[in-house]
Structure 1
Amino acid sequence: MANRLIPGLLVALLLVLHAQLWFGRGSVPQVAQLRRDLAAQLEANELARQRNAQIASELRDLQEGLEMVEELARQDLGMVKPNEVFVQIAR
């Protein structure tokens, strides 16, 4: 009787552990999904970091001189200086 009980308990324990590995908390599929989510979040963070660096650079340019302000006004608002002729070439 004892010869059959111990292997049966070991098999049952193995099945419980195996089920926990595939379906329980911290299972293999869940860890794989979390890794994919982490990779996507790291990529989004890097894009945000680059955008923040670009905005910080533009801000420094705006704080340091009027050349950037003038350039933005010319591009976005169509600013023209006095005695200047505006010519637009259509392509």
Structure 2
Amino acid sequence: MASATTRVLSLILFAILAILQYQLWYGQGSIEDMWRLKRTIAIADIQNAHMIERNVLLQADVNDLRQGDEAVEERARSHLGMIRKGEHFYQLID
């Protein structure tokens, strides 16, 4: 009789272990979820680093535009085609 009780107890413990292992590997908050979240965080960190770098460059442009007319004139010449009085515009075609 003790053998049957031991066998039933062993089966119950094995079933509990199997359920816990399933939850660990495939359930909510599982190791697979953790790996997926780590990948998502790594991608977000890379995107954030690019955005920070872009913001630094944009802030430098803003500071240049605030400090003097040279940056404003450069942008007007390159983006809007500004020409001062007395200057001549030559376009070279390759």
TM-score computed with the length of structure 1 as normaliser: 0.90
Query: Given the alignment, which residue of 55, 60, 63 partners 1:60?
Result: 63
Alignment of 1:21-32 (within 5 A): 21-32=24-35
Unaligned stretches of 5+ residues in structure 2: none
Residues 1:77 and 2:83 aligned together: no
Matched residue type, 1:26? G
Matched residue type, 1:14? L
Computed over aligned residues only, the root mean square deviation of the Cα atoms, in angstroms, reads: 1.2
Size of the alignment, in residue pairs? Answer: 91
Give the Cα–Cα distance (whole angstroms) in 2 for the partners of residues 56 and 64 of structure 1: 12
Residues 1:9 and 2:12 aligned together: yes
Unaligned stretches of 5+ residues in structure 1: none
Runs of 4+ in 1 over 2 A off after TM superposition: none
TM-score computed with the length of structure 2 as normaliser: 0.87
